[in-house]
Amino acid sequence: DSGVTQTPKHLITATGQRVTLRCSPRSGDLSVYWYQQSLDQGLQFLIQYYNGEERAKGNILERFSAQQFPDLHSELNLSSLELGDSALYFCASSVGENEQFFGPGTRLTVL
Amino acid sequence: AQTVTQSQPEMSVQEAETVTLSCTYDTSENNYYLFWYKQPPSRQMILVIRQEAYKQQNATENRFSVNFQKAAKSFSLKISDSQLGDTAMYFCAFMKHASDDKIIFGKGTRLHILP
């Protein structure tokens, strides 16, 4: 158990819908990272938050957004969902010691 | 931009054998971290081993060891006395030496340990 929690574990929705994925980092970790794992693109970095502020952006679509709250949990919002958004979404956290701890992931299926 | 390449999409070995997974990377950075992550069927990402680029000594963790060749930008993983529980997807990954930075992953090698 990495100490990072993600909810829900599985999510099934329809095209055009909007969903929110939630991540709670390890106690004390200020950084939260979101990654997407899909069959065709592999594991890709989406976005990073540090202590409530956006720090880095990767290959994140404009339909996707994220935020980190004062209690340091983070949410990834995916809107206008397309079939190609079906993937495993990981959250990871770190306190800056150059090791990221991954949550169990949320499997999103868009039908 | 950094890239990580794993040239072996899939491998199979018999239980108790030794297997080596290959990884090459490209970067202009001098200080960085390299990782091997294991992803079993449960999909959890598990850190297997970590190497700091400024350390010449190869990292080892029990049955897992790496062969880090900085000049060649090569970072292979050796699994000794392989076990059925080693069956998983293995990802080679890179991270710059800075507090907080994204991890760049290779495409992965699917490893099957055969009984």
Residues with Cβ < 8 Å from A46, sequence gap 6 or more?
A33, A34, A35, A36, A57, A58, A59, A60, A64, A66, A76
Q: Is B65 exposed, middle or buried (0-12, 13-18, 19+ CB in 10 A)?
A: middle
Measured between CA atoms, the residue of chain B closest to residue A95 is: B100
| A96:B103 CB<8 A | no
Cα angle, residue A53 at apex, residues B100 and B50 outer, rounded to 5°: 15
Q: Is B37 exposed, middle or buried (0-12, 13-18, 19+ CB in 10 A)?
A: buried
pLDDT in tens, A30-41: 999 999 999 877
Task: Give contacts of B6 with chain A, Cβ < 8 Å.
Answer: none
pLDDT bracket for residue A25 (50, 70, 90): very high
Pairwise CA distance, residues A68 & A73, whole Å:
6
Task: Give contacts of A31 with chain B, Cβ < 8 Å.
Answer: 100
pLDDT in tens, B56-79: 899 999 999 999 999 999 999 999
What pLDDT shows up at residue A74? 98
Residues A86-106, mean pLDDT to the nearest whole number: 90
Task: Give contacts of B91 with chain A, Cβ < 8 Å.
Answer: 43
Please indicate if any CB of chain B lies within 8 Å of the CB of A36. no
| B108:A107 CB<8 A | no
Both structure tokens of A61: 């679509």
pLDDT in tens, B22-40: 999 999 988 899 999 999 9
pLDDT bracket for residue A95 (50, 70, 90): confident
pLDDT in tens, A33-73: 999 999 877 899 999 999 999 999 998 999 999 999 999 99
Reply yes or no on whether the pLDDT at A97 is more than 80.
no
Pairwise CA distance, residues A109 & A90, whole Å:
14
- The fraction of chain B above a pLDDT of 70, given in percent, is 98
pLDDT bracket for residue A99 (50, 70, 90): confident
Reply yes or no on whether the pLDDT at B10 is more than 60.
yes
Evaluate whether A45 touches A59 at the Cβ level (below 8 Å): yes
Please indicate if any CB of chain B lies within 8 Å of the CB of A88. yes
Evaluate whether B9 touches B71 at the Cβ level (below 8 Å): no
